[in-house]
Amino acid sequence: MISLPLTSPISPNRSLLHQTRRPNSTRRRFWIRSSSSLQDQDTAKTPPKRVVLVRHGQSTWNEEGRIQGSSDFSVLTNKGESQADISRQMLAGDSFDVCFTSPLKRSKKTAEIIWGSRESEMIFNYELREIDLYSFQGLLKKEGKEKFGEAFREWQEDPANFSIDGHYPVRELWSRARSCWPGILAHDSKSVLVVAHNAINQALVATAIGLGTEYFRSLLQSNCGVSVLDFIPRADGGSPHVCLNRLNQTPNSPLSGGSSGGRKASKRIILVCHGQGDNEDSAVINQEATNDQPMNMLGVIQSQKIAEHLLDLRVSSIICSPDTASIETAGAISRVQEAAGCLGVDSVPRYVTTKQINELNVEIVLDKSNKDNDVIASIQPGWLSQLDEEAVSALWNRSGKAWESLLDELSDAESNSGDTMVVVGPPIAHISLIAQCLNLTKEGLGLFHLDAGSISVIDFPDGPSRKGVIRCTNYTAHLGRWCIPITRPA
């Protein structure tokens, strides 16, 4: 968890070193080139703040496969402008109080498209520029490999320790991302839009939730991908609780493919949160009541929407938790998959096997919690503190065993899982699996949020034995009118 930016944000007045007003415009625009010192602030009285990060749309150099870095020669392609317009529509219902944006042309244009006719202020922050890649900038990737050899290999395989022209670009990027947070969080607003670039957005997400430079390329940021961070004040006035509400919500479905960190994924795990159960529409459930409930009508609709969304994938194997709602959701997916022929989707018959893993059943852990207070059912910020230490440890140990089982299944050439594995379970189980994928500790369980009916995707560009890449988390656009708006208040 980061403490410097979040404990005591800076005054916005001290950080604005240069201001310019756009002629004939009611919106205000500012330029920022550096952060300033911190000031004391009563965090306990600060309202929750939601920060929405957006990467710019496809640029001309993205299209060419050219290394951009912090150069400012590329502009948005027609596709990039269309992506930005889709993001504008995704975010149209939100009343953002302010927009921070990189001044580089590709980011600036994306911000202007998304911001539309809003009259609230736009703040240009030079610290939000893309990663500085020095001599790499402007080269095609194949040229970088030919010209720099070992340095380019290190950039691909060990970016945290990669150096060029006497600089360590990723380390510098992380430091710069940390310096951006005080100004963003100090702004008098509840909802903030930040439009920037791939690498800097990765660093902003990572530094907010306390991840180091070794996580570069572990949290995917696609063109116009939207990520959401919630900052919830603590009652004791300490650093706010930070929660990654969702990661990399893209204009297209996250199942449509694409590369992960510039590499095509060889294996993939799709985490499906089961449809909503009878108890999950309330804030808490009593410990004396059984937690293993069937889906309610909304859950049934969510499971059908999930099954429809997965129809374009050939799913041969589903692994699920033994709880009732997970089994019902897995059954809906299986039935739709096997009906692909009569639905006109596939001419080849599909056969789906379903396997249950007991370690995905978190209800056993929740039922055994020794806390006298109620257990949070719909995962809200601070849910982890509602469990006693023994329960948290048990949850973490179970998820570790489940994660190892999934990787073994995905690695087994004799298994029926294929290249894509669908895993159905409750939100807490999948939060635990994401934390296991990132090799966090059990304290990291509180850093993520998942909703019933959501989809999260983990790619393995180097195979299941190597590090996974989080392609997206908490995707709900497939739920149609029942999707969770990206800008739902914290």
Active site residue ranges? 56, 130
* Residue corresponding to tokens 């073994």: 408
CB of 220 closer than 8 Å to CB of 240: no
Measure the CA angle with vertex 129, ends 209 and 253; round to 5°: 65
Q: Is 264 helix (H, G, I), strand (E, B) or coil?
A: strand
CB of 452 closer than 8 Å to CB of 347: no
Q: How far apart are CA 382 and CA 448, in angstroms?
A: 10
With DSSP H G I counted as helix, E B as strand and the rest as coil, what are the percentages for the chain, rounded to 5? 40, 20, 40
DSSP lists the bridge partners of residue 101 as 124, 195
Q: How far apart are CA 244 and CA 226, in angstroms?
A: 12
Q: Which of 333, 329, 321, 328 is nearest to 429 (CA)?
A: 321
Q: How far apart are CA 202 and CA 204, in angstroms?
A: 6
Residue 182, CA distances (Å) to 13, 28, 37, 121, 397 in order: 12, 20, 9, 18, 36
CB of 357 closer than 8 Å to CB of 402: yes
CB of 125 closer than 8 Å to CB of 196: no
CB of 466 closer than 8 Å to CB of 460: yes
State the CB neighbour count (10 A cutoff) for residue 124.
22
Q: Which residues contact 260 (CB under 8 A, 6 or more apart)?
A: 217, 220, 459, 461, 469, 471
Residue 255, CA distances (Å) to 268, 336, 342, 467 in order: 10, 17, 22, 19
Q: Which of 166, 190, 241, 216 is nearest to 7 (CA)?
A: 241
62 alpha carbon, distance to own chain's centre: 21
